Amino acid sequence: MEWLGQLHDRIVGLDTAPLIYFIEENPNYLDITDVFFKAMFLGEFSVVTSVLTITEVLVYPLRQGNTILAQQYREILFNSQELTTIEVFPDIAETAAQLRANYNLRTPDAIQIATAIHGGASFFLTNDARLPSIPGLSVLVLQQLIV
């Protein structure tokens, strides 16, 4: 996986979908997310995501009353050495507003990308092909990375 090599010693912004695919073992994306998270856990690169991710990933487990799944999300988001969950402070919110103005992004996408930028990310892993690459931040779409 050539794309994975370019992440070495870099910071990667993480969108919600890849995390859901990994934790919930989505068969369409399990191979690629397993490789990504294994490399992350080995310290090959670090990952940042917005605290908004917890809002997005907990909806399904909470609806289902699945406390085990909810706890798996909490563990990876708040107790992983290699993954930093960043709070949305005013500087991130302002960058998100600018991204919305410039690229017509939805608010959650703008917050995720702004968080990646403020977290020092060079890449942003998502499965949303509609997201544009931003200067200094290359968007990596899972579906396009599957060989």
Q: In the prediction, which pLDDT does 103 show?
A: 96
Report the chain (147 residues): mean pLDDT per 10 consecutive residues. 92 98 96 97 97 97 97 97 97 98 97 98 97 94 90
The four Cα atoms 124, 126, 129, 131 give a dihedral, to 10 degrees, of: -50
Supply the range of the domain harboring residue 93: 2-8+10-145
Quote the Cα angle for 87-88-90, to 5°. 130
Q: In the prediction, which pLDDT does 2 show?
A: 87
pLDDT digits (tens, 9 = 90+) for 64-100: 999 999 999 999 999 999 999 999 999 999 999 999 9
d(C-alpha 35, C-alpha 88), whole Å: 28
Q: In the prediction, which pLDDT does 147 show?
A: 64
Name the domain count of the chain: 1
Q: In the prediction, which pLDDT does 47 show?
A: 98
d(C-alpha 32, C-alpha 22), whole Å: 9
Q: Which amino acid is at 124?
A: F
Domain harbouring 49, CATH code: 3.40.50.1010
